[in-house]
Structure 1
């Protein structure tokens, strides 16, 4: 057991947390398997084995690895074209491929790359996936079989047109489940069984009052006992590589959100790359145990912490308890009404959709983020979800590039007093004989150089002007920046003006010399940055005030 493993004094708290998350996780696992279009038994296996195995391997002590709602919707769109008889074999290959990609991301330490997934795009993606869950369960809720291959919104319209075919018994069971969950959650002592207790109540009700309501047993067999080992058929991997990569990306982005939101017991943030490798190894091993792809779940991890978990043993206990339930009471799950599971899933999806404050904040403060969120949301409704994440990634990169390009400019530093400066917009033109202090603002790379150069003041008609340009913190400049500085220096020289570079990192000197900037500016007009912020700038100002521009 790794450092930070279970201790005797934390065992009672971990037992309570493990039991709580197991009681909540059992109906969730079955429901998410239903969303994924697979046997609920595979969801239970995943809740048992993936959660327990990951407890040993992930960097985060609290991270609960399971089949999540977003993964479930993505799996459904991947498996929809697969013949029913081939679904299990395809699922297990998908699991091992997702694990291999996750392991690869961890080994190359790709955790930092997930920061390029915009929160706005992720919000659109999760909201769209949640809506798909809600719409996809309307058939089970109402007892009317929706078209499997239709766009979900269109399927809802089909349901409206066939409202007369809705089964009142099924709808009553589903709505009753939703009400019971909402009420039970408000009773503190019953909160841990807020999902499980309504399923038991509605199962009894279906047996006594509504015998015609469809049960889990009508679509799947759930035998007692643990799974036998299977060998994933790698021959099926060819057509699953792109979808598996998408699932891996989805899972890792969600896991990073968990890790950064829920710190370790000592307040530090766990190593996300270890989380990646841990989830990867978990999925690889779990594929031999008939499990679906899994990843860190924010809601399940938050519940784990709220239930009092103190060490990673809580997840181990949770997985073990689910395993015990499968071993001794698996067939009882066949008695659960499908409309009841649908009601729980619709409630979960609706809670994910209802995030007005976050959506309003994105719409109000980020124009590019707003359109990225909307575009990603629309893509989830018209494209298979696993491809929507690629749309989201591309949109995130576009948002980053657009935002950084807009922000890139130079600002005017106006001296006030005691070595302090006020930032203003750079003037459009220089004034004759005046010293103008500028600083580069925003990111400096090839895509932003045009915006930066365009915001430099024009030297036309400003003879005797001096421009001081501060470059502190600019280390990875590239030849584009050097060429831009050379062009501006020659424009200034043509008007008998002078360019002074200050706060220059010593590592830039070779580039300045090799690209001709040093020759165009003059080595006497370059001031190297010191550990004292502003020291080189003061030297540059003194030089500008004591020396007139030199003709050459």
Structure 2
């Protein structure tokens, strides 16, 4: 085979294996996440078929698997909880098309960079809180005791403890057996790919003979054979769903960015997150007409896709197609699946999401603002509808950014050590007579940090013959606030017969100084332009100051 030519036969074989693996794992996950979302398991299966297949063709990432994820499922539940049961399907489909529209809009506006303003601490608190909600929300199905649908799930768990005598031993036995089988099969290399599916099959075969009274999927929903008939979402429901749909879109996109950054492309590059946004948006818009739930990129499913050997985006296309085939050929058989078995798998998934002690400990030890943001976001997931918790997280992330950048903004002293190099020291509190002081601004420069920067400048009061050089390399779009601050400082410095020199000044920055009048106060002879050579302009300014020019 010529060098560089791809072995398409080998890739197809690898993609078929990977697609089959993710389909087998995804079928019980899709049904389980649908239960978490409070919707019929059939909508989870439709999403696993159509959204995964369509997303494989439209997203920028080769491996990204678009599906109903665990965090999205909990969020959807909090949106649909107050909706009458008969109106849930219509509301779900409108929610899907709205989420898609927002995702598409984010992609077209190239808003991918904005997700960096959601801190890792906030995201950790949010995911941990959502995972705990999954665990708490499935205790009813695991034990056979119907829990109250409290807004605060921890109160529902307390209700379960008070009614421990009403727990059905048969249901609990099926759920715990399922968990034990999953853990056992994961230890067998050849069975890992079916470690979620096989326990479901075993529990389904076992329950009619041993535990005939255990609740089944068919007790809460009908699973028809065949693919769904197209529906037209009821657009009249849009106004009441705009705010939660935006929250779901943000949640989905943040998760997708995490996938894109964690799992690079086959050539080692990072996929275009904005193309991922538009691809997921169009996927959800199209899938809403096919009775699908909102979907986004899933880190665990994508990681499994790669681990299973996927080489191209065909793996996800095959995975979606296989789920569709299963729905067509064996949909009604899913009605025989015991609810405690699905609950056991979901609880196991939730516990694995919660169990990230290293990440939590690192945030707690090394970031004081992050520590409290993580804790506050976690608490908000337990006491607020989850779709609103992401807004709490976004606001906390912005607050962390503002507080941290404001604290870090200061002025430092540059002490020449020879060879054009400098040692950083804290800026002096006051200028000294007949002494040259070289300064530079450390940290971000914007309106919120100007006061901290101005306080860091050494006071010129009482000094005579002192010279201050302030290096401004890289400061281009500083805003009029910085120009006014420099004008005020120049006036204070020159009032006592001292001198202020600006070095490393960009021509665009000078234009702002001129237009605001700050350049006139400083003096054009005291402004030295930046060059492509770092600190060349600063060295020129130092020589001019030492020569008294």
* 2:282 is the counterpart of 1:285: no
Task: Give the equivalent residue in structure 1 for 2:153.
Answer: 152
State whether structure 2 residue 353 is matched by structure 1 residue 352: yes
Name the SS for the 2:289 alignment partner. Answer: helix
Once the two structures are superposed, what CA deviation does each residue of 1:508-535 show, in whole Å capped at 9, x if it has no partner?
Answer: 1111111121111111110000000110
SS of residue paired to 2:470 = strand
TM-score between the two structures when normalised by the length of structure 2? 0.98
Residue 427 of structure 1 corresponds to which residue in structure 2? Answer: 428
Q: Distance in 2 between matches of 1:137 and 1:430?
A: 67
Deviation at 1:5, TM superposition (A): 11
C-alpha separation in 2, matches of 1:9 and 1:206: 42
Question: How far apart are 1:242 and its partner, in Å?
Answer: 0.5
Question: 4+ runs of 1 displaced by more than 6 Å?
Answer: none
Q: How does 1:118-517 map to 2 (within 5 A)?
A: 118-517=119-518
For the residue of structure 1 that corresponds to 2:192, the secondary structure is helix
Q: CA deviation at 1:174?
A: 0.7
Matching of residues 98-137 of structure 1 within 5 Å: 98-137=99-138
1:480 match: secondary structure: helix
- Distance in 1 (CA, whole Å) between partners of 2:433 and 2:385 is 62
CA distance in structure 1 between the aligned counterparts of 2:476 and 2:186, rounded to whole angstroms: 55
* 1:520-535 correspondence to structure 2 within 5 Å: 520-535=521-536
Query: C-alpha distance in 2, partners of 1:273/1:487?
Result: 43
- Give the match's secondary structure for 2:418: coil
Report the secondary structure of 1:346's partner residue: helix
CA contact (8 A) 1:413 1:437 kept: yes
Task: State which drifts further: 126-135 or 453-462.
Answer: 453-462
Contact 2:151 2:385 in 1 (8 A): no
The separation in 1 between residues aligned to 2:292 and 2:6, in whole angstroms, is 25
Change (3 A) 1:246 1:413: same
Q: Secondary structure at the match of 1:490?
A: helix
Counterpart Cα distance in 1 of 2:449 and 2:129: 33
d(CA) in 2 for partners of 1:510 and 1:254? 43
The separation in 2 between residues aligned to 1:206 and 1:304, in whole angstroms, is 32
Q: Deviations over 1:139-191 (max 9, x none)?
A: 11111100013410000000000011111111111111111111111111000
Contact 1:98 1:244 in 2 (8 A): yes
What is the distance in 1 between the residues matched to 2:496 and 2:381?
57
What residue in structure 2 maps to residue 7 of structure 1?
8
SS at match of 1:351: helix
| Contact 1:6–1:312 under 8 Å retained in 2 | no
CA shift for structure 1 position 9: 3.1
Deviation string 1:315-344 (CA, Å, 9 cap, x unpaired) is 000000000110101111111111111110
Following superposition, the deviation at residue 6 of structure 1 comes to 10
Which position in structure 1 is the counterpart of 2:37?
A: 36
Which ranges of structure 1 fall in alignment gaps of 5 or more residues? none
Q: C-alpha separation between the residues in 1 aligned to 2:231 and 2:451?
A: 58
Deviation of 1:7 after TM superposition, in Å, equals 3.4
Q: 1:496 Cα shift? A: 1.1
Structure 1 position 425, deviation (Å): 1.2
RMSD: 1.2
Deviation at 1:349, TM superposition (A): 0.5
**What is the DSSP-based 3-state SS (H/G/I as helix, E as strand, rest coil) of the residue aligned with 2:340?**
helix
Greater mean deviation of Cα atoms: 5-14 or 65-74 = 5-14
> Secondary structure of 1:289's partner?
coil
- Whether the aligned pair in 2 keeps the contact of 1:80 and 1:149 (CA below 8 Å) is no
1:473–1:505 Cα contact (<8 Å) kept: yes
Partner Cα distance (1:145, 1:230) in 2: 33
CA distance in 1, matches of 2:316, 2:23: 9
SS in 1 for 2:292: coil
Partner SS for 1:28: helix
> Deviation of residue 8 (structure 1)?
3.2
Q: Residue deviations 1:18-45, cap 9 Å, x none?
A: 0110011000000000000000000000
Change (3 A) 1:436 1:106: same
Alpha-carbon contact 2:37-2:77 (below 8 Å) kept? yes
Q: Do the aligned residues in 1 keep the contact of 2:464 with 2:498 (CA within 8 Å)?
A: yes
Distance across 1 between alignment mates of 2:496 and 2:132: 63
Partner of 1:70: 71
Pairwise mapping of residues 54-93 of structure 1 onto structure 2 (< 5 A)?
54-93=55-94
